[in-house]
Chains A and B, each alone.
Chain A
């Protein structure tokens, strides 16, 4: 499984990568480098011109949005690129790492495997929407207190998942927490601190 979070890149760059990985994969394998670049540029234009946009209403972190988006846009890309909410991270982009975890109608999901248009009329919460004004969410405080992050790349997804884990009633024991946090991969190995943070919040009994 490839669960290594990539570095964040400028937007153009990530779009290029994205195209390489998807529609051009077969062509890429058969033609030499310069040809590929040319074909890639063209395809990019053609696609951008002819895409039919779909109207979409969303409520994100309490704020209403009326948008028109390409159906191919994932919820993750919409949040990061259209709404500039960069807190939600793109790790694997294939449902394997949990870095992109957000809440849809209160339930945690991987935003990278969902087309944004499928969420018309729904309520989304990202890491940016968790704090109450300047006051951190109890789970954010607990992550700070227990040093639940090292590089921090996986942290937003971990926190969104951790909040859901407590809300779902799946934070009963260390074993249960580990099982129900297994969809969030941390390459730095901050796991034991993360578990401690969740236990702290759960035992604190605050409303999360």
Chain B
């Protein structure tokens, strides 16, 4: 592993200053992604700013919503009474991710900034535009089983691996940021980027910006929710594909719906058209099939991930069925 300087500020502004001034500095929270990538030589920060002493762990009511500090642990959020009451979908998605040990280390901020699990990104002997801009994309003509079917470019076809983020985009969350130019808020849907010509940039975070919290507005999606994760074994594996589904029901009629997919794009993929297709419809398999067909419009597969075109609609139907029955 490369050597690095280690600093442990107790003031938020000090932490931001260090990272804003030095392009080779990085924040470290749980370390579960960064340490992994450093061990493999994929990321080589020269300076680590340990943010664990900043007071960003609170989970609390804020206006008509819930504010979750960036350093709240994945396990703490999943177990939190308010989260379970107001946003059970978030708890389901978190518990579908990683392992109990990792969830005890992984933070909310770190989770949404975790990097792709594309094997070529991880292998420093292979070309990868995300790791090394301009070097090419190993996955385009390679083993692209895990890769995107929406929103990719010819520069990068990687997917974002976070389960939590799929729930957050469905729940209309907002990210709170603090940087050298002050504080700002960003809709979670605008936080991650599509690869375009700059796949090395996963998000719209500016250099030195610190995630301080996420806010989730109260919504009627507190009961009929489900997170469907399809993976190669029963637990403890990244998603091949996942679906977050939330319904607001009036008897058997769908009043409103939220739908998002993971493992299909460079960002958590909200399915707005499919949500619209569900509104006012009876909660039947027929309705769900139609919405799934709408959701998959525009999907395009590569050599090894064709299965996602069939798996996608089935997972959507399953998620909606389970949500409706909840």
Contact = CB atoms under 8 A, between A and B. Distances in A.
B101 A109 contact: yes
Contacts of A120: 8
The listed residue with most B CB atoms (<10 A of its CB), out of A23, A26, A54, A118, is A118
Residues of B in contact with A, size category: 35 or more
A66 B258 CA distance: 52
A113 B99 contact: no
A23 B41 contact: yes
B307 interface: no
Residues of A in contact with B, size category: 35 or more
B64 interface: no
Nearest to A180: B100
Contacts, number: 107
A161 B100 contact: yes
Given A52-B5, A113-B105, A25 B235 contact: no
Contact of A183 (B3, B40, B236): B236
A135 to B, nearest CB: 26
Contacts of A54: 6
A163 interface: no
A104 to B, nearest CB: 8
Contacts of A98: 99, 101
B39 A94 contact: yes
Nearest to B123: A25
B205 interface: no
Interface string B91-116: 00000001111101100000000000
Contacts of A109: 101, 104-105
Contacts of A94: 36, 39
B7 to A, nearest CB: 10
A54 B3 CA distance: 13
Contact of A23 (B2, B50, B75): B2
Nearest to A181: B100
Contacts of B3: 47, 50-51, 70, 72
A50 B2 CA distance: 12
B80 to A, nearest CB: 14
Contacts of B234: 178, 182
A108 B100 contact: yes
A71 B4 contact: yes
A109 B98 CA distance: 12
A25 B125 contact: yes
Contact of B235 (A52, A114, A182): A182
A183 B100 contact: yes
B83 to A, nearest CB: 16
A155 B50 CA distance: 32
A47 to B, nearest CB: 6
B38 interface: yes
A18 B40 CA distance: 10
A23 B104 contact: no
Contacts of B186: none
B105 A114 contact: yes
B276 interface: no
Interface of A: 1, 18, 21-26, 29, 47, 50-52, 54, 70-72, 74, 93-95, 98, 101, 107-110, 113-115, 117-118, 120, 161, 164-165, 168, 170, 178-180, 182-184
Given A21-B40, A113-B102, A120-B8, 18 more contacts: A18-B1, A21-B39, A22-B1, A22-B39, A23-B1, A23-B44, A54-B6, A71-B6, A94-B39, A98-B101, A109-B104, A110-B32, A110-B102, A114-B31, A115-B31, A161-B100, A183-B98, A183-B100
